[in-house]
Copies of this chain bind each other. A is one copy, B any other.
């Protein structure tokens, strides 16, 4: 995955060097690569070679990285550290961080348009993948969730708002990663349905687990300030259901997600392993 991203992105000394250095700083700062792995695993679950959808996998990581760069900005979450590394704006300044995020988003769409035509069988698959990515990343997806989260800060959280924030801020992009892997592999309607349900439950389980880890984790293991979400009065599951209640919900969602994969058979085994990892992880 890192090799593919390394090949896809311009060298850091490419003009203007500050832009490409800033983009690379954040892309290669120890991410788990969950979203691109989901693209590859979904493609394999639908009988496609992982390599054929690699540009789309890179695209998902570019979108995710852009969102982290902008989230960390002083005007947003104002985080100086992420995964134990100084954030993009701390190293390159705010202006370069805004632009590096902007460029990573643009590049994501360029990458999907570049998926070899053989992978999708026809151009329609790539167009559908672009539509899915735009809907999941934009105002009706990730950015909408981020905005709702900011507006909700310091306010009383109720369950519908909390669910909107969670499903949109992280859930939609995770679900889109799976569907994009599917549509680029010529998946049938029932295969896409399975990926869609699995993606929805996985996304929510992932966010709940993240919230739990934010509460119980330790500074050293997370590589970022722990407990900052609740310190800012952010809407979280543990705040509503407590740590144990939240863990139980995440496990239930994981089981439902795994069950949904049945139509995909044995080839979906990596997706099952991923679901278990996501709710059991400790970082």
Contacts and interface: CB of A to CB of B under 8 A. Distances in A.
Instruction: Determine the main DSSP class of A at the interface with B.
Output: helix
Contact of A150 (B95, B114, B123): B95
A164 B131 CA distance: 32
Contacts of A96: 147, 150
A226 interface: no
B105 A105 contact: yes
Contacts of A224: none
A274 interface: no
A50 B127 CA distance: 22
A151 B18 contact: yes
A159 interface: no
Contacts of A123: 122-124, 126-127
Number of copies: 2
Contacts of A273: none
A98 B73 contact: yes
Interface stretch (A138-146, A179-187, A246-254): A138-146
Nearest to A141: B106
A16 B151 contact: yes
A149 to B, nearest CB: 9
Given A123-B122, A130-B130, A146-B99, A138 B94 contact: no
A219 interface: no
> Interface size bucket, A side?
35 or more
Given A95-B75, A98-B73, A139 B109 contact: no
A95 B107 contact: no
A76 B105 contact: no
Given A10-B139, A19-B139, A124-B123, A134 B106 contact: yes
A113 interface: yes
Contacts of A70: 98-99, 102
Interface of A: 10, 15-16, 18-20, 23, 66, 70, 73, 75-76, 93-99, 101-103, 105-107, 109-110, 113-114, 122-124, 126-127, 130-131, 133-135, 137-140, 143-144, 146-148, 150-151, 164
28 contacts: A15-B144, A18-B147, A19-B147, A20-B139, A23-B139, A70-B98, A70-B102, A73-B75, A73-B94, A75-B75, A75-B94, A95-B150, A99-B146, A99-B147, A99-B150, A103-B144, A106-B134, A107-B139, A109-B134, A110-B130, A110-B135, A113-B127, A122-B123, A123-B123, A123-B126, A123-B127, A126-B127, A130-B130
